[in-house]
Structure 1
Amino acid sequence: MIPHVRNLKFLFQQRLLSPNCVRLLTTTTLNQAKSTHARKIDEINDEPIKFFGSGAASWRAKDTRSGGADEALWYQQYVISGSVAIFLIYFCILREENDIDQKLEGSLYDHIDGLEEQQLVIRYKYNRDNNVDTSDIEKRLLELGIDARKLDQK
C-alpha cells in the first residue's frame, strides 16, 4: 500500500479528516502514483538486461517446478496419518451397519435382472471362439434355463 494512503487512513481513524476529504486525497495520491509508474514505463532503455547479479541468476529451475522445501509443516505427516487412522477405525470397526451395507453384501446379479445370463452368454461365445473349455458355463446356463445349443446357432 502507498505510504501516503496509510497516513490518510490513520488520520481518518483519529477523526482528524472527514470521509470526503480522505476520499479526495486518496484519489489524488493514487493518480500521482499511476502517473509516476507510467513515466517509468515510458522511459525505455535500450541497454541489455543484466542477468548476472540479478535475482534470476541465483534462481534454480527446481524451485519453480517443485516449490520450496519449507512448504510443509514438520508435523503435517503425523496429523494426516492420525486423521486417516481415526477415520478408518471409525468406518471399519466402530460404525454400525445400515440398510445400504446390507444391500451391498448381496451379489450384483441379485439386484440386476438378466445380468448373469448376459455375462454367461458373452463368456460362452468368447470361450467357444478361442477354444477354451465351456463346460462350467454350459452347466450354469442349463440351471438358468438357457440352451447352449441355441447360442451355437446364432
Structure 2
Amino acid sequence: MCKQSLVCPKTINSRFSQYHTSANYMKKAKKDVSSEPYRFTTSNANMKSLGETMEVNEHQGPIVALSLFVFIAYFLYLREENDWDEQLNVTLFERVPSVEEPHLVQAIPRMKQRGEDTTEAEARLKELIQQRQAKEQTNS
C-alpha cells in the first residue's frame, strides 16, 4: 500500500477520474445553457438557508441600557466644562468677523419682504460699516 504520495496509482487514478468527471460536467453544462433569464423567485438562490440563530444573553439588554444611561449622565451632567465646550459657545460671526457684514446686507431685504422688523439688523450693519471704515483709516 502506498501512503498518499503523488506517484501512487490510486492517487493518480482518483485525480484523473476527478478531472474526467468535471470535464464531462462542463460539456453537459454548456449544452444546458439557455438564453432565457433565470427567475430568482423560483431558483434555489431565493431559498433562505438560515443557520443556527445566535442566542442572546438575557442580561445583555439591561446592561447595555444601564451603560448608556451612565455614559449620558456623566457626559451631560457630571463632567466639567473644558476648552472645547467654550469653543462651541462661540458664534460664527465671532470666529469669522468678515462674514457678518455681507450676511446682513443680504438678510435685510429678505427680512423686509417677510414684513419683519429690521431696525436691529440695520443698526448692527451701520456699526460694522463704521468699524470697517475706522480700521481702514488707521491702516492707511
Give the TM-score normalised by structure 2: 0.50
